[in-house]
Chain A
């Protein structure tokens, strides 16, 4: 594991509880995405998840499915996203991780993708369709390019949590609920228990909770039992509503959410 990248993702968790926003790159276009990322960084985002759209995102709910489709229809490609990130890196130091699906990386060439991601200043990746059993093919290549492959644990993981946590890099993504991404009225899983299990085998690894969190109250509640919270669909929905006007709205939302998690 590269010391630099490890430190960089870890650093995201050194300013109190972390707030981690997600955005589908290219929705509705990459110029808007660029502005949204600037707003996120300026308003206190500790780490930013950049979604590379995939045609058939099987782990996503309707909000991110629709955004992925809009982004692809707008002509967004992996290479165009690389170009955008390379430019943004000149002004933004916030850690970035890509969130996408195995085939996007596999078809690009895992080695070629990892090399490009390292060159443009990415810090890690989240691949929801690559579980523990399949991760080696990707993680070994990413590691040699200083990129962390973030592990996910779910409410159904039970005894798998220890095995996953032991080898976790960067941070552990705790999936709060069954099902796909999307906003939820309430979260009933005992995520605190999941986090405790992770820490029992890997005390240093930060844990961030995602799936279903959409407002400051939920964020504050979830942040109380973890090191950070991740919000995707609520932001993507905002972008769907406001389109090219979305950046300032997202900026205000990120500010509010960061304040909420800090109170946890």
Chain B
């Protein structure tokens, strides 16, 4: 899927300061070596199964199916993984790789805090130092996750520059990496940034679609008609899509955070409102003004509050293989509450964007059709913020 220089069509590449180039080349070399290494894969599989709790369940949401009156709905329960989200899949892979490369320190960016928590967890398990960069605004929105990271032994650095959200956390982690390379691995949390990150993260997340495929074939004897996932940078979505890309009859639908709407400035829907650009090491679509200044984006979801999208998604969009649709804050909050009451599952507000879109299309689909929604994370971390959104103040 990727060519030699890490391109997905015209997207991707390595737009990064010279200081980091050898680190990226070393990472690529190490990854290519270990991905074929039996011992490495055995160790990773053990961690994924015994520590993270894989495979995650593919759950038939019977009440939701009945309520919407159309397609059969299955939920891929990444929220049941250890640390509560899909992020752990990638982190265990990268942390193990970093350890093999002789690195003793992990740095990471985080938006909602799930990737930071996962990285702090892997660092604790593998005896590595850990520093997490998090936008100051997000440290407020996701205070619980900040505490979890500290509890796990990580240092959390609030980033005050720019919009003090995910993009600024990425920028700061990149700056820190140029400052300290020899003992440090930048454990990037999404399918973004310079090559080889989009490929490495996708490969480690592809376990999601690998499992969905086997599980749905076992349960239904056929492939789903649609796979739906939320998209910020796009790691849970690419994980859920990857093994279906060649199955052209499976619709792949990525749900972007529209915030207050794609016709407002308070949105983070990159495919809907962005244009082609170069940022954070990659060529892809970005929300930006006419002079190429990156736009201050907005979403209720800290994890989707990012002005770009991973290069493989940009390419899937270009080729028409995947569809990308905007979902507003209002729709996501409704879906957050809906799944909680309907199925007794509190989803992450990020994942709620995918649920919201499934609610729209399921009723107009046939009863013998199948939708798989990737529930990328659990929603405990969002309860305080959603309560506030509904005008209720709770103390965590």
Q: How far is the CA of A8 from the CA of B281 in the complex (A)?
A: 32
Answer whether residue B180 sits at the interface, using C-beta atoms and an 8 A cutoff.
yes
Q: Is the CB of A108 within 8 A of B17?
A: no
Choose among A58, A62, A175 the residue with the greatest number of B CB atoms under 10 Å from its CB.
A58
Q: Is the CB of A129 within 8 A of B278?
A: yes
Q: Is the CB of A108 within 8 A of B14?
A: no
A residues near B15, Cβ cutoff 8 Å: 102, 129-131, 134
Task: Pick 8 A–B contacts, CB within 8 A, sort by A.
Answer: A59-B175, A72-B293, A106-B278, A129-B16, A129-B278, A134-B14, A175-B18, A178-B179
Residues of A101-153 whose CB lies within 8 A of B? 101-108, 128-134, 152-153
* Option from A65, A106, A128 in Cβ contact (under 8 Å) with B17: A128
Q: Is the CB of A131 within 8 A of B286?
A: no
* Residue of A with least CB distance to B179: A179
Stretch from B59-67, B161-169, B347-355, B368-376 that touches the partner: B161-169
* Option from B19, B276, B292 in Cβ contact (under 8 Å) with A175: B19
Q: Is the CB of B22 within 8 A of A59?
A: no
* Option from B21, B276, B279 in Cβ contact (under 8 Å) with A160: B21
Answer whether residue B144 sits at the interface, using C-beta atoms and an 8 A cutoff.
no
Q: Least Cβ distance of B369 to chain A in Å?
A: 41
Q: Is the CB of A131 within 8 A of B21?
A: yes
Q: How far is the CA of A57 from the CA of B73 in the complex (A)?
A: 44
Q: Is the CB of B178 within 8 A of A104?
A: no
Answer whether residue B280 sits at the interface, using C-beta atoms and an 8 A cutoff.
yes
Q: Is the CB of B21 within 8 A of A56?
A: no
Count chain A residues whose beta carbon lies closer than 8 angstroms to a beta carbon of B. Answer: 41
B-side interface residues toward A, CB under 8 Å? 5, 13-23, 161-162, 167-168, 171, 174-175, 178-181, 275-281, 283, 286, 288, 290-294
Q: How far is the CA of A68 from the CA of B168 in the complex (A)?
A: 14
B residues near A1, Cβ cutoff 8 Å: none
Q: How far is the CA of A164 from the CA of B19 in the complex (A)?
A: 13
Q: How far is the CA of A54 from the CA of B175 in the complex (A)?
A: 15
Answer whether residue A155 sits at the interface, using C-beta atoms and an 8 A cutoff.
yes
Answer whether residue A215 sits at the interface, using C-beta atoms and an 8 A cutoff.
no
A residues near B281, Cβ cutoff 8 Å: 129
Q: How far is the CA of A108 from the CA of B276 in the complex (A)?
A: 11
* Option from B14, B22, B175 in Cβ contact (under 8 Å) with A158: B22
A61-85 near B? 1/0 per residue, CB < 8 Å: 1100100010010000111000000
Q: Least Cβ distance of A19 to chain B in Å?
A: 23
B residues near A56, Cβ cutoff 8 Å: 162, 167-168, 171, 279, 294
Q: Is the CB of B22 within 8 A of A58?
A: no
Q: Is the CB of B22 within 8 A of A155?
A: no
Q: How far is the CA of A160 from the CA of B17 in the complex (A)?
A: 13
Q: Is the CB of B23 within 8 A of A156?
A: yes
Q: Is the CB of B175 within 8 A of A132?
A: no
A residues near B168, Cβ cutoff 8 Å: 56
Q: Is the CB of B180 within 8 A of A178?
A: yes
Choose among B19, B168, B290, B294 the residue with the greatest number of A CB atoms under 10 Å from its CB.
B19
* Residue of A with least CB distance to B295: A55
16 new A-B contacts at CB < 8 Å, known A106-B283, A164-B18, A180-B178: A54-B292, A55-B293, A56-B168, A58-B175, A79-B291, A102-B15, A107-B292, A134-B13, A154-B18, A155-B19, A156-B20, A157-B18, A158-B22, A175-B19, A178-B19, A180-B179
Q: Least Cβ distance of A110 to chain B in Å?
A: 11
Q: Least Cβ distance of A178 to chain B in Å?
A: 6
A residues near B19, Cβ cutoff 8 Å: 154-157, 175, 178-179
Q: Is the CB of A108 within 8 A of B179?
A: no
B residues near A61, Cβ cutoff 8 Å: 175
Q: Is the CB of B17 within 8 A of A154?
A: yes
B residues near A158, Cβ cutoff 8 Å: 22
Choose among B17, B23, B168, B275 the residue with the greatest number of A CB atoms under 10 Å from its CB.
B17
B residues near A78, Cβ cutoff 8 Å: 291
A177-198 near B? 1/0 per residue, CB < 8 Å: 0111000000000000000000
Q: How far is the CA of A77 from the CA of B291 in the complex (A)?
A: 7
Q: How far is the CA of A129 from the CA of B180 in the complex (A)?
A: 18
Q: Least Cβ distance of B23 to chain A in Å?
A: 7
8 smallest CB-CB distances across A and B, nearest first, come from A107-B292, A179-B179, A154-B19, A102-B278, A55-B293, A103-B292, A55-B294, A154-B18
Contacts A55-B293, A65-B161, A128-B17; is A156 near B278 (CB within 8 Å)?
Answer: no
Q: How far is the CA of A104 from the CA of B23 in the complex (A)?
A: 26
Q: Is the CB of A178 within 8 A of B178?
A: yes
* Residue of B with least CB distance to A102: B278
Q: How far is the CA of A102 from the CA of B284 in the complex (A)?
A: 13
Choose among B16, B162, B280, B288 the residue with the greatest number of A CB atoms under 10 Å from its CB.
B16
* Option from A108, A132, A179 in Cβ contact (under 8 Å) with B292: A108
Q: How far is the CA of A108 from the CA of B277 in the complex (A)?
A: 10
Q: Is the CB of B21 within 8 A of A103?
A: no
* Option from A54, A59, A79, A103 in Cβ contact (under 8 Å) with B178: A59
Q: Is the CB of B277 within 8 A of A107?
A: yes
Q: How far is the CA of A62 from the CA of B180 in the complex (A)?
A: 17
Q: How far is the CA of A134 from the CA of B278 in the complex (A)?
A: 11
